[in-house]
A and B are shown apart, each in its own frame.
Chain A
């Protein structure tokens, strides 16, 4: 390693925030005093680092935060967690209801909005009483079956607006560490 290469390493170490041993720091200072290319490298890299650190920060717009809340904590607040079998029953009923609606839209049951107000869920009892859980699941199914298509349309529209067409597959994109092959690609 020649002197310039050695000192280039030291320049980067200093930019990294490392404190050079006194002898190395002195050698670097002396080298920068006599070597123009290394002096300019040190000057430029220091300026670039300063510029990068001073780049203006951007602020996340409020609508994005609202969207995050509505897809996370708000959703949880609206629908309490049901035991697995009750949830599975509700999903099955939802699918069946949606299928029936698709087949016979003119005879699909229509629940009034007040139905929502009549469903009072005792979450403790849901966990302990299977019959009660099934009863609740059936009530939920009735409401969901009348609204599932509308909800689906709304959600798809929202997803398209937010993510565009490609976003529909987002949930299927696995979160993973970058693989060695990806490093090569990059």
Chain B
């Protein structure tokens, strides 16, 4: 008996389905439907039954979208919110993936839009290359290999796209498995499992980019592909991913320099991470409310009922099978953090933005800094006569004396004038703590309205540091979890916040790793990403950032610093090469110190990203657990404070003749 051709079977199936659709439309009440059906019938005659099915799907706007993908995302969100047990998510996602694979395999989803899978692979290879294979060469090799395999199978020109074919089936299957299971899904789920477990908020690229991608799948993909504008689709996806990587993944060194000054930079209001929050909170609360109010009670009722039915007493099995309370511990910790910030979601987001730098450290005396009082000009003045404007400056420094340069200016509608004298001096020196009145004197000003300006510029240093706990992978493995490690060593501060000294800028130093940072000696070289966000904190300007001194614990080596305008190479130095002031607290026994000269001007906010390599994990974990290591950064910058007075109108002086007449009388 001759074997049946599966292709023919498929065509017959499609033909049958297409003709049924046409039949339904022809007999339907809608004249438009009837007209469409007639057109399709004509097209069917031209193109054959297979195209009929395609035409029907297109005409009805029924180009299939990735339902499985949407389900996967929703499940992942639900679990990230801490409300659905990971096992359930895993089962649900496997089912969703099977649906997806089946649909892909059956040819339902075959269109050029699927090329974006390849683009994702290529993009990630690029990221790995930029990050100097920080995830290890194995990841790069795997990406490269499956990218090639997928591309090789998928791009077969000898096989038309719309023909069911074993090669294409295999290609799609491989691509899908590689992309969603090996590369995308598994690491994400593992990462979430780890993070949700300690109650830290979950931020990763999937959360940030996920919802827009879902929307992209649902809406424009169909339209763009139908209209042959795949190019724009591809461009949009690249832009979206680049945006997320620039701002969403704080640990990534891949950043677009132009975006640093934009509202889309890391920690700014437009950062992708903040958009992620918009999706995060509603989904989280909706899921958890459902969990608390519907799922957990129902689950308990069913399990307890079953146990009673079987004839036993409640054994507490429901508690383990309906882990509402346990799973919600993460949520409670999360909410405890969130509720400590005012203003709901907006407050939460702004809190995150503030949070990005760190906390001002406690001081026992008056905090260091420079403060300039508002400038007050005299209330009336006459042309040609001296005019003064006064202010007051207060300064506190702990280390070297502060040199403060003062400058006064009268800014008129027609002319600007620099002060003829400044009292006490144009440069004042503050040894420790001082408070001085400032008098800006203008010998003569023309008759017009002036605004007076006083500026105080000075060099200042801010120190930021962060504590990090380090643990060996085998110890975490033996204890079972990070929380168990913290419990073992009686540590309650599980996410130490960066701190910085008071001054004109706020600053944070943060290793972008969950605590305790796990050391993997067998997977060396291990890299750590350190974020150093700096933001203007006073009502002035950071005129220029000159230098960063980065002190890493012994055992960590600095590889590079990104995100700023660097001048020259990074230099590893010893403490005795530093100035007396900077040498304070520097200890070669405990720290590797790096001098990074930068030239970033007029900064309102900037984030430097440092990449460090674990060179000697024994040093990092010594002398005894729990290893609490510090990363310290001293930033050296020039700051300008300014104050302006309200406008002062200089009156015209009386004419000379009239003046003489008055005097003679």
Chains A and B belong together in one complex: no
A residues whose Cβ falls under 8 Å from a Cβ of B: none
Q: Hey, which bits of chain B sit against chain A, CB under 8 A?
A: none
